[in-house]
Structure 1
């Protein structure tokens, strides 16, 4: 249930970012996403902050830094250079990176079947990327590095929560993390001139702000709480397999918005789903 709901929510977040970028800059989109989410989380979860032990705050900060702050800006910039659906597909590298980071940095053990499933999903992802580049030769695929770097940050984030914050409530992890990164986000937003130079009367700006509220409250605040809970009740690899389902939703939104999709990319989507099945299959 968590996996499917997160797939629908995060799969829709890429098109929301794309629409918000019509009226705002990538830096403003990234900063506003953090600020609005923090306000929402404080309204519903400020009491949970008392449950965070002094020894846990450093891990909460690392989790927010690698799993929220940097990706919020990286993905906003990525979508200015490549299609939103392609950015979501590159996010599918997260389970593979989670496996590697978990093994070599955190000492977690994984089953052979999970590795096979990840590799199968990775094959589907590569097909999607190559075919996307073929369909959109005018796009700058150097921007593809930003989602890839973000996926490494997500991998560290998941393993940090699983190893060091397992006994802490999901809403406390989420709220605490955003409280720690909201000040840098406010400083960055003010530097962009958002409070002094942006013309809020323009339709594209007001529409962008509406998209940002939806993205922040549902696509970041609620989704982050759900994801942190999913990490705690499952394995790191299972929780990050949501990134294999996200592109299915994101690609559908991309088609609706006029982005190109071929039959081969649909086949690649089926391969990705098969990889998810192998990752989560029980003997």
Structure 2
């Protein structure tokens, strides 16, 4: 299979998995039938990281020897914190105030921030199409953020800001992976990154009294199934695939998975009874147009560590 087709298929798979992760977070916190709260946003975030890191811990411990320099160690820490740990808590908090479909839409800002951080921190050359794409995407972000007061009346700008911050974290992690770690095996990079996350996740799992909720809440067993799927499939395994795509292509190409994530998230949210406004849909398409324009002209990606 040609590498370009293979990478495109992997992005499609990732969009389906990550597009469904928003509703999985919601189901981990709230029982669909009764509307009763099950786990808090912090509890879901800690379990997501703890379960994912536990799955990859055996590989990660054996792969620690790949840390042969201070730069690699710091880069792995950035991928761990910015690529998974911090966003896990920001997204679950955001979904206490906004719909999963809207969260998926806001996630489409990732490629714009990936491009900006690539230019500012990693000296990526910016071409004309990318500048235009950033401007279009920024307009879409402004429209989308202002849409929260129209539909998601239970949410605040703080919930929107949480996702914007999470996408900034993703952008930093994606560029770090591409420019500093692309010469290392994606499985080992992901596994070691989760080794860094294991102890903090375990501490927060206990700190937020998660075991007590598991024992006492009658809906906890059902919610745990959703969280396990989110952690193992939507976090651990998906990040391995994502890091593989990044290592073979570019940071901007990899972040383009958010072309399809909002569509998947919105469709699943709609089927689950969520309401999406035309303003939000229009804003999403503006952002996607911006990302498309930024990616339209193929430009040479520097070969790093090859």
1:164 matched to which residue of 2?
180
- Counterpart secondary structure, 2:260: helix
1:64 matched to which residue of 2?
80
2:99 matched to which residue of 1?
83
1:7 matched to which residue of 2?
15
1:100 matched to which residue of 2?
116
TM-score normalised per structure 2: 0.84
Aligned with residue 28 of structure 2, among 20, 28, 36? 20
1:248 matched to which residue of 2?
263
| Displacement of 1:222 | 1.1
Aligned with residue 228 of structure 2, among 213, 231, 235? 213
Q: Is 1:109 paired with 2:117?
A: no
Q: Please give the root-mean-square deviation of Cα atoms over the aligned residues, in Å.
A: 2.2
Structure 2, unmatched stretches of 5+, are 1-8, 31-37, 299-306
| Displacement of 1:272 | 4.1
Count of residues in Structure 1 that have an aligned counterpart in Structure 2: 282
| Displacement of 1:65 | 1.1
Q: Is 1:224 paired with 2:224?
A: no
| Displacement of 1:177 | 0.5
Deviations 1:184-229, CA, capped at 9 Å, x for gaps: 111111111122x224364421111100110011100111111111
Cα separation, 2, equivalents of 1:199 and 1:240: 35
TM-score normalised per structure 1: 0.90
Cα separation, 2, equivalents of 1:253 and 1:119: 29
Cα separation, 2, equivalents of 1:18 and 1:135: 18
| Displacement of 1:230 | 1.5
Deviations 1:74-132, CA, capped at 9 Å, x for gaps: 11111111112222222222222222211112211132223323443444444444445
Structure 1, unmatched stretches of 5+, are none
Sort the Cα spacing of 1:3 and 1:51 in 2 relative to 1 into closer, same or farther, 3 A: same
